[in-house]
Structure 1
Amino acid sequence: MRYILAAVSLVLSLVLLGLGVAQRTIWAPPDTIVAEAQEQVDEPLVLIPGEAMNAHDGRQTVVVRGEGELTAVVGRAHDVEGWIGESPHALAEVADSGALELAPQAGADTAELPALAGNDMWIEEHSGTGEVRFSIDMPVGYAIAVAGEPGGAAPTDVRIEWPFDAKTPLFGPLVTAGLAMLALSLLLFLLALRRHRRRRGPQRRSHRELTRAERRALARDAKDGLPRGTAAVAPGSDRPAIEAAEARERDAPAAAPEGAAPEGDASDAARPDAAAPEGEAPSDGRRTERRAAAPRRRGLGLIALPAIAVVALTGCGPQYWPSGAPEPSETGEPTPTSLEETLPPVAVTEHQFGRILEDTRAVAAAADEARDAGAAEARFAGPVLDARRTNYEVRSADGELAAVTGVPDGDIELLLPQQTESWPRTVLAVVGWQDASQTQAAMVFQQASPRDDYRVVYQTALASGVQLPPVASPTIGAASLPLDTPLLQRPPQEITGAYADFMLNGDESEFASWFTPDDPLNQSIGRATKDETAQRPEFELTDLSWSASDDEAAPALLVTNEGGALMATSWIETQRTTPREEGVTVTANDAAGVLSGVDQSESGLEISYLVQVLFAVPAADAPEGTQIQVVGYTESLLDAREIG
């Protein structure tokens, strides 16, 4: 009966183990969750918002298939949506069924979309022919835009995959039960085997057949001398000799004298388990005990193996065991946990600006080398571009003339992006040179619209010995201020004209008290310097006059930590040189001669310079006597013409 129970337990254990293994193999759920869309849409672009990408937990894999060149970009949601604007597009949504649906979104702007790749706002770009595949751990507040070739419809074979931590709650119980039944079947088998052996009873030990030499030896021993009570054995008789030898062994203890032990110590003879003399086999009792202990150890090992497996299995992950339904989490509006989450996002991240700066350096180097103003337009705008165009013109006529200051090739030492979700956007950066002897440059970049690149609109050299006011970190950024803000000590729209008047009239200017009198730009082009220039011998027979005019660039303001602002602005200062009497000529220097087309003029010359300044403007509640300070400036030749 025990054998039957052991067999039944073994069969049950195999069935349970098989079912448990099947839970993790043939019946295991898929390793990924897939949402796929294969709908045909006419829109030129597909927008995959962050909500769709984060419909399931885990790192996402995006696969886009279609004809021709395909492009997928990743950016912050407000940047991607700003780039799309009012253009028609398809919005990807994960339906309740798990499928990815493309909902067409109408738009008023029916113009053809430009190329999706290459914009400064993208965090990642992926392109390919026929298929684009990439993995991303999509942060909150980001989105993906997918487009095909310009002018064509967007690819509609879009697939999102998430890793799926498949739960098999029956695997643990089934395998545990299977191992327990296996241990039970082994135990029953051992008990049945033990019972079977006991029921057989003691067995007579069988003797092996003696060889001829052994029989002859026994016959000789019997012939030489026999114990008392043993009959003589006839020569050649083997069986009587064997029996006589056996009798002698049985009777040997009885024949010993009283009180005397057989050969060896009496204590040794009294212990059935005493060790045999060296070179002899152990006694029969000890061999019997060892033979009995060996099956017991083997039986314990067979039982312990499933038991250890069961104990080890209890340490498996919770996905292998049944668990209660998860408690529903409270849903509500997320609570901001940091200052960054309560403020508008910054215009660019540090990673984005690093890429923008590198591209600006490459564009500037190529344009300066080829003296190509058209190439410089990719990264420069406004009066800064006009000054660069002027430099290219004079250098094309005279290659010995100095080139315009390039983009610094050192590290980014300060980055202050604007806090905004709209356009235009402003970014201020202080960049150094690898040559430490060169002055750091403060550069202001602006992005006019979402589909435009960032362009340099101001570039000034920081004044020696002047400290920038403390500003926020690049992850927080700074707010911009309108030109009519009351939060500053002076109205920003008046500062540029006021400082230009201060440069023309010096202490006699009505705005002289607004500015620090010892700033480096005042020392370079201020009223005192202008008077000294007019007194030079070469201008003895000429009249010098200066005037100022606004340029087309609007000032850029970013708030500092003290409540003030950094303000980048520029204006055009014109120097007019005219002869005092007939016969006197005005000589044009090399660059002015190229631009005016004359080396000497009897009517006079007008030379215009672009003056760029970076001001530190105090807050409205700054202590009395605080003045606007110049922290950086640059003066560049802009134009020259003959009067008349």
Structure 2
Amino acid sequence: MRFVLAIVAFVVAAVMIVAGIAQRTVFAPPSHIEAATSVSGDPRYLVIDGSVLNAHPGQQTLNVTGAPDQAKQVVAYGRTADMKAWLEDQKYVAVGYKKTTGALTTKTVTPKPAKGSDDKGGDAGSSTATPAPTPAPTATPSAGASSSGTGTAAQAAGPNPAGSDLWLEEFDGEAAQVTRMNIPDDVSVIVASDGQKAAPSQVTVTWPVDSSTPWAFPLIIGGLILLVIGIALYLWGLYTHRRSRGPRRKSGPKMPKLPKAPKYKPTAMIETTPRGRRSTRARVMLPAALIGALALTGCTAGTDAATTPTKTATPLTTEAPDAKDQLPPAVTVPQLERIVKRISESAAQADAKASADLAKARFTGPALQLRQANYAIRAKKADEPALPAIPASPIVLSLPQATDAWPRTVAAVIQTPKDAKGTAQAPLALTLVQATPRDNYQVEYAVSLEPKAKVPNLAPASIGSAVVPPDSKLLALPPAKVAAAYGDILMNGDKSQYASLFNAEGDTLRTQVGAEWKAKQKAAVPATASLTFTGAPGVGTDVAMATNDSGAIVWTDLTETQTLKVVEAGAEVSAGATAAALTGVPSSKTGIESTFGYQLAFYVPPAGSDAKITLLGFAQGMIGAKQIP
């Protein structure tokens, strides 16, 4: 028997070991699924929808090759709606996936003509909403037409996707050749060069496959264990067999058999248990009666508990907001961090060269106006301090607008590093605006927060905030009227009709350039001249973003003009070093008109609230000066 068991153990062990090894070799599953396609026609852009990349589970690996210039190839991904808005008037190739064959497909998408376009008899897809820029004609067009990415293709050149603030992530150059990502269905990938040359023509998408073999190792180990057991059984059987074949002694005479005892037969008097159908019926009746008694007892004892109603907790069901009805935030936090870093680098270059042209790339409105004036002053006044630099990080607060349209607004508060003396600096609050899908975010307001400023509760960055209309009557003061009201306070102080609406505590700008300061300036002017102040709303857009208490944070700007005028013939007034740098004259016999710009950030409470409008931060500086004719 031991030999039989040993043979069975050997056979089962061999089967298990072979099966385990086969799972790791012959029957091993593939490590990945791959789908590829070749794009013809030299398109400028390829778009891979998120549903294509999610055709199989797992992290996607995108491999692109065949670009005319590998250094200029770009792979970026962003929200599908944003990407279509960026492409708008551009022809592109949409890459799809056919599940039946497991292959990638391509389809050329031609933009529709803009409404009201003059398209007489032409193809509806041949006209674009915005004419694509065309390079200047070359002396040898035929030579350019023969090369890849030039000639006829160059005439269809479009915008360059590299460096766009619209993308959630971007890969350029060699880094774009192989990219790994894990994106949802509502995000798409764009593959392109610089908009002038053709996009990479070879696209391969790879998905990982679970190639693990969890039974291989247990089968091999179990087979080895059975093999050892089989060997042990074989050796044991062999040992026992050899011992059984040794010398044997002859047995003696057999013992006589003992007589058998008579069998016991019970008598009828001892048998007390009745037999037959009656006995069976009696045995069944006793348990049935017992069960019935117990059932009746249970009903009687449990009457109160069974008839008394008990309260059960009913789960409260709350309907979650439909994701389709909720607008997405304009940017994500990682996206905003990348945008702020780019703005910081661009601003540093513009500040270092004092170049107004470089500043236009990332500044607009009041922020650009103040920076241009500062560059002009520093060019002729060496001791004029530069404006605060834009820190790259860390972002301590981000408030994107919840929207899917343009223009888009994003607010961010950045922690400012300590100065050279180790003194802590006030955080910098930026208001960024993106005018169109192809424009990058620009700084419209850059203010330093007040030391005692308390920012109200805001919506999380993952949800975003709504923009309040400038004429909204749901606030204590419509956003469009905040600048004029505050300007009146700076002119008249507590006598202003709006003084009761604004909080004076912690307002350092009011102490710097308020009514008391203006009165001192007027008193210091000689009798031969006069000084007047006038205020007006600035050139910036009033931006208001809702807070959680139904209030709003309002960004606005105010201009204030100081007119120093000569009132006595032969008299002369000094322009001052700063105004002289802009006017080019140190003094004037007629007068000097200086204009100051104030970028302001307020918290405006909701209508009917007892809270007051509070100044959260500001930035100020001279933005213009001229000599009175």
Structure 1 length as normaliser, TM-score? 0.70
Query: Residue 77 of structure 1: CA displacement?
Result: 3.5
Give the secondary-structure state (helix, strand or coil) at the position aligned to 2:177: strand
Q: What is the letter of the counterpart of residue 515 of structure 2? A: R
Match of 1:386 in 2: 369
**1:635 aligns with one of 620, 623, 629:** 620
Match of 1:471 in 2: 458
State how far apart, in whole Å, the 2-side matches of 1:125 and 1:437 are.
35
* Residues 540-551 of structure 1 aligned to structure 2 (within 5 Å): 540-551=527-538
Match of 1:530 in 2: 518
Given that 2:161 and 2:194 are in contact with CA atoms closer than 8 Å, whether structure 1 keeps it comes out as no
* Residues 222-371 of structure 1 aligned to structure 2 (within 5 Å): 343-371=326-354
Alpha-carbon distance change, 402 to 200 in structure 1, aligned in 2, over 3 angstroms: closer
State how far apart, in whole Å, the 1-side matches of 2:337 and 2:57 are.
31
Match of 1:105 in 2: 109
Does residue 164 (structure 1) correspond to residue 209 (structure 2)? The answer is: yes
> What are structure 1's unaligned runs of at least 5 residues?
204-334
Q: What is the letter of the counterpart of residue 106 of structure 1? A: T
Match of 2:163 in 1: 118
State how far apart, in whole Å, the 2-side matches of 1:539 and 1:628 are.
37
Given that 1:71 and 1:146 are in contact with CA atoms closer than 8 Å, whether structure 2 keeps it comes out as yes
Query: Residue 517 of structure 1: CA displacement?
Result: 4.8
Query: Residue 510 of structure 1: CA displacement?
Result: 4.1
Alpha-carbon distance change, 591 to 11 in structure 1, aligned in 2, over 3 angstroms: same
Cα deviation 1:84-141 (Å, max 9, x = unaligned): 3342222222211211212222214462332222122333322335970122233454
Aligned residues: percent identity? 34
Q: What is the letter of the counterpart of residue 393 of structure 1? A: A
State how far apart, in whole Å, the 2-side matches of 1:632 and 1:128 are.
42
Query: Residue 64 of structure 1: CA displacement?
Result: 1.0
Query: Residue 185 of structure 1: CA displacement?
Result: 8.0
Query: Residue 193 of structure 1: CA displacement?
Result: 5.6
Alpha-carbon distance change, 347 to 196 in structure 1, aligned in 2, over 3 angstroms: same
Query: Residue 15 of structure 1: CA displacement?
Result: 6.8
Does residue 40 (structure 1) correspond to residue 47 (structure 2)? The answer is: no
State how far apart, in whole Å, the 2-side matches of 1:535 and 1:193 are.
124
State how far apart, in whole Å, the 1-side matches of 2:430 and 2:2 are.
92
Does residue 444 (structure 1) correspond to residue 444 (structure 2)? The answer is: no
Match of 1:84 in 2: 87
State how far apart, in whole Å, the 1-side matches of 2:221 and 2:376 are.
86
Match of 2:66 in 1: 66
Match of 2:412 in 1: 429
Match of 1:373 in 2: 356
Alpha-carbon distance change, 201 to 634 in structure 1, aligned in 2, over 3 angstroms: closer
Alpha-carbon distance change, 406 to 127 in structure 1, aligned in 2, over 3 angstroms: closer
Alpha-carbon distance change, 202 to 340 in structure 1, aligned in 2, over 3 angstroms: same
Cα deviation 1:595-640 (Å, max 9, x = unaligned): 11222212211111111111111112423xx432222122210111
Given that 1:36 and 1:159 are in contact with CA atoms closer than 8 Å, whether structure 2 keeps it comes out as yes
Query: Residue 503 of structure 1: CA displacement?
Result: 2.8
**1:496 aligns with one of 468, 483, 504:** 483
Alpha-carbon distance change, 16 to 565 in structure 1, aligned in 2, over 3 angstroms: closer
Worse overlay, 456-465 or 178-187: 178-187
Alpha-carbon distance change, 138 to 337 in structure 1, aligned in 2, over 3 angstroms: farther
Alpha-carbon distance change, 474 to 41 in structure 1, aligned in 2, over 3 angstroms: same
Query: Residue 149 of structure 1: CA displacement?
Result: 4.1
Query: Residue 12 of structure 1: CA displacement?
Result: 8.8
Give the secondary-structure state (helix, strand or coil) at the position aligned to 2:411: strand
Q: What is the letter of the counterpart of residue 72 of structure 1? A: V
Q: What is the letter of the counterpart of residue 415 of structure 1? A: S
Does residue 594 (structure 1) correspond to residue 581 (structure 2)? The answer is: yes
State how far apart, in whole Å, the 2-side matches of 1:448 and 1:551 are.
19
> What are structure 2's unaligned runs of at least 5 residues?
113-127, 133-156, 249-317
Query: Residue 72 of structure 1: CA displacement?
Result: 0.8
Match of 1:293 in 2: none
Does residue 400 (structure 1) correspond to residue 383 (structure 2)? The answer is: yes
Q: What is the letter of the counterpart of residue 637 of structure 1? A: M
Query: Residue 522 of structure 1: CA displacement?
Result: 2.8
Given that 1:340 and 1:475 are in contact with CA atoms closer than 8 Å, whether structure 2 keeps it comes out as no
**1:554 aligns with one of 502, 526, 541:** 541
Given that 2:539 and 2:557 are in contact with CA atoms closer than 8 Å, whether structure 1 keeps it comes out as no
**1:133 aligns with one of 167, 175, 178:** 178
State how far apart, in whole Å, the 2-side matches of 1:377 and 1:46 are.
31
Match of 1:485 in 2: 472
State how far apart, in whole Å, the 2-side matches of 1:602 and 1:455 are.
41
State how far apart, in whole Å, the 2-side matches of 1:425 and 1:547 are.
33
Give the secondary-structure state (helix, strand or coil) at the position aligned to 1:500: helix
Give the secondary-structure state (helix, strand or coil) at the position aligned to 1:357: helix
Match of 1:220 in 2: none
Worse overlay, 443-452 or 562-571: 443-452
Worse overlay, 507-516 or 574-583: 507-516
**1:153 aligns with one of 195, 198, 211:** 198
Query: Residue 338 of structure 1: CA displacement?
Result: 8.5
Query: Residue 186 of structure 1: CA displacement?
Result: 6.5
State how far apart, in whole Å, the 1-side matches of 2:346 and 2:175 are.
31
State how far apart, in whole Å, the 2-side matches of 1:399 and 1:121 are.
39
Structure 2 length as normaliser, TM-score? 0.72
Cα deviation 1:382-441 (Å, max 9, x = unaligned): 122122111111211222222223224774332222222222222222223222443332
Bigger Rg over Cα: 1
Match of 2:78 in 1: 75
Given that 2:538 and 2:559 are in contact with CA atoms closer than 8 Å, whether structure 1 keeps it comes out as yes
Alpha-carbon distance change, 12 to 431 in structure 1, aligned in 2, over 3 angstroms: closer
Give the secondary-structure state (helix, strand or coil) at the position aligned to 1:360: helix
Alpha-carbon distance change, 186 to 485 in structure 1, aligned in 2, over 3 angstroms: same
RMSD: 3.6
Q: What is the letter of the counterpart of residue 630 of structure 1? A: L
**1:564 aligns with one of 535, 551, 554:** 551
Q: What is the letter of the counterpart of residue 127 of structure 1? A: D
State how far apart, in whole Å, the 1-side matches of 2:604 and 2:434 are.
24
Does residue 614 (structure 1) correspond to residue 618 (structure 2)? The answer is: no
Cα deviation 1:161-209 (Å, max 9, x = unaligned): 1111248799799989988997998699679967975896649xxxxxx
Cα deviation 1:440-487 (Å, max 9, x = unaligned): 322212222222222211112222333222223333332111212232
Given that 1:46 and 1:147 are in contact with CA atoms closer than 8 Å, whether structure 2 keeps it comes out as yes
Q: What is the letter of the counterpart of residue 594 of structure 1? A: A
Given that 1:409 and 1:432 are in contact with CA atoms closer than 8 Å, whether structure 2 keeps it comes out as no
Give the secondary-structure state (helix, strand or coil) at the position aligned to 1:535: helix
State how far apart, in whole Å, the 2-side matches of 1:459 and 1:549 are.
20
State how far apart, in whole Å, the 1-side matches of 2:617 and 2:485 are.
17
State how far apart, in whole Å, the 1-side matches of 2:222 and 2:377 are.
91
State how far apart, in whole Å, the 2-side matches of 1:169 and 1:400 are.
74
Given that 2:159 and 2:194 are in contact with CA atoms closer than 8 Å, whether structure 1 keeps it comes out as no
State how far apart, in whole Å, the 2-side matches of 1:38 and 1:598 are.
68
Match of 1:49 in 2: 49
